[in-house]
Amino acid sequence: MGSQSAFVTGRLLVVAFEGWNDAGEAASAAASALKAQLELEPLLAIDPEDYFDYQFTRPMVQIDESGRREIVWPSVTLWGPASARSAFGVAPEAPGEAAPIYLLLGSEPSRGWKTFALEVMDAVETAGIDGIVFLGALLADVPHSRPITTFVTSETAEVRERLGVERSSYEGPTGILGVLSDAADKLGIPTVSVWASVPHYVHNAPSPKATLALIDKLEELVDIVIPRGELLDEATAWESGIDALAQDDEDMANYIEQLEKARDTVDSPEASGEAIAQEFEQYLRRNTDGKDGGTAGDEPWRPSGE
């Protein structure tokens, strides 16, 4: 996509959900890094009773500062500047201009998606959001030893022209990001979707390298510098750890080598844009069984079909 400024000049909402849309926890970690950089407060907590199956997304028990056990329920929260609180009935409006960035973070709901989307879009309109960035991560046949591939698409013609990105032609199962994107498009709100490809053979562990790739793209869109903290060191350790595992597993090493050759072919100067687009569509079409990140199987490294 190259170096780009923010795709809207008004208020921007960044959306990320834990779960099916969040392979390697890359998207939620990138959004959390942005939240840590901004002075945001909770504006709206969506009631989990209506949208979560607690046998699928279970509440967690934790010990609070006083040593008492408490239940933490799955949730989705809209975060924004303190100056926007009055619009949501949280508190009298604080002095100062509203920051241009809002965040919607939480776990992917397991039911009531149509109603959930309506509730989110109502909050979007209340906050006066001018554009939305959706962050996601999917499991794909990509090597950990190469730069993480990110794909940027938009359903908004003006945004595609401004950023030089394509419209997604994907058809198949979708997650809550797809549902919210469709709802925003019907309201005429410009959207951008940014997805990172996470190596499927290490799907059980967080992927800091994919988080960094999403942060790089997110910075271009929101026009803000997001500190990397320890992510650079964590990404290096993540890659080295997988290298060490592959050294002890000849089959895994051979498979990774095949992925590297395929990736190098796609990245070669001779590769066409159509070939790269087809590669992305193949990644997305593997999202057929509803597992986190859309993997087609549970094997830690085996190629699909075996």
Cα dihedral 122, 50, 194, 241, rounded to 10, equals: 150
Instruction: Identify which has the larger pLDDT, 294 or 198.
Output: 198
Hey, CA dihedral for 166, 23, 136, 296, is it positive or negative?
positive
Provide the pLDDT confidence category of residue 1 given band limits of 50, 70 and 90: very low
pLDDT recorded at residue 228: 87
pLDDT recorded at residue 99: 59
Provide the pLDDT confidence category of residue 290 given band limits of 50, 70 and 90: very low
The distance in angstroms from the start CA to the end CA of the chain is 35
The mean pLDDT value for 247-268 works out to: 85
pLDDT recorded at residue 303: 37
The mean pLDDT value for 101-124 works out to: 96
- Give phi and psi for 60, each to the nearest 5: -115, 145
- Name the average pLDDT for the chain: 83
Degrees (nearest 5) of the Cα angle 241, 245, 283?
85
The mean pLDDT value for 58-77 works out to: 92
pLDDT recorded at residue 269: 60
For the ranges 11-25, 130-144, 265-279, the lowest mean pLDDT is seen at: 265-279
- 10 Å CB burial of residue 300 (0-12, 13-18, 19+) is middle
- 10 Å CB burial of residue 291 (0-12, 13-18, 19+) is middle
Instruction: Identify which has the larger pLDDT, 86 or 306.
Output: 86
Percent of the chain having pLDDT more than 90? 55
* Helix or strand (DSSP H, E) at 281: helix 273-285
Using one digit for the tens of pLDDT, what is the confidence trace for 18-31? Answer: 999 999 999 999 99
pLDDT recorded at residue 178: 95
Q: How many CB atoms lie within 10 A of CB 221?
A: 23
pLDDT recorded at residue 301: 37
Provide the pLDDT confidence category of residue 5 given band limits of 50, 70 and 90: low
| Residue indicated by tokens 């979007």 | 124
Percent of the chain having pLDDT more than 70? 80
pLDDT score of 186 more than 60: yes
Distances (CA, A) of 120 to 15, 90, 126, 178: 11, 17, 10, 13
| Residue indicated by tokens 């500190």 | 227
Closest residue by Cα to residue 231 from 123, 148, 121: 148
Two tokens, residue 294: 């859309």
pLDDT recorded at residue 170: 86
Torsion-angle region of 142 (φ positive above 0: left; ψ -120 to 50: alpha; else: beta):
beta
Show the beta-strand stretches assigned E in 167-271: 191-199
Radius of gyration of the chain (CA): 20
pLDDT recorded at residue 153: 94
pLDDT recorded at residue 292: 44
- 195 strand-pairing partners: 136, 151
Using one digit for the tens of pLDDT, what is the confidence trace for 211-250? Answer: 999 999 988 888 788 888 889 999 999 999 999 989 898 8
Two tokens, residue 279: 């590669």
